[in-house]
Amino acid sequence: MRMEKVMIFTDEDEEFSNLLTEIGLKRNVAKVLVYLASSPEATSRDIERGTDLRQPEVSIAMRTLKENGWIQSRESKAESKGRPVKIYSLSKQISEIMDTIEENKRKEVENQLRLIREVREHLSQIQQQILE
């Protein structure tokens, strides 16, 4: 048997993850992002153990992170026979990722406010028509 060090979530990591979830990230994406922000690189298995997520949950979260361009991966030969192991790391600093999240949220809010203004304009037109 060999000794292996696996990072696990602390209370602070859990709090950070919860904040990201409240902002609008999916829970599993937030957990994986926080894990990778705390580790220079990790395998899927490390992430599963450290975040207490199942393999499919980690895979789905990784897909989202990859689509956003926030992670990169490389392959490493497995210690035994079999498939190479993928090793993941953040492709951007966590502060840059937060800037992106903030910008997306700003756009989202601006769009919602624009839609509210349009609804008000329509209501105003309807009220005008009723009065005529």
- In one-letter notation, the amino acid at residue 98 is M
What is the 8-class DSSP label of residue 82? S
pLDDT tens column, 24-35: 999 999 999 999
Confidence of residue 98 (pLDDT cuts 50, 70, 90): very high
Average pLDDT score over the chain: 91
The pLDDT assigned to 83 comes to 81
Do 45 and 6 meet the contact criterion of CB atoms below 8 Å apart?
no
* Count of beta carbons in the 10 Å neighbourhood of residue 6: 13
Class for the domain spanning 1-92: mainly alpha
Return the closest-CA partner of residue 9 out of 23, 25, 28, 24: 28
Spell out the residues 6+ positions from residue 91 whose beta carbon is closer than 8 angstroms to its own.
69, 70, 71, 72
pLDDT tens column, 45-90: 999 999 999 999 999 999 999 999 999 999 887 666 778 889 999 9
Return the closest-CA partner of residue 66 out of 97, 98, 40: 97
pTM over cut 0.75: yes
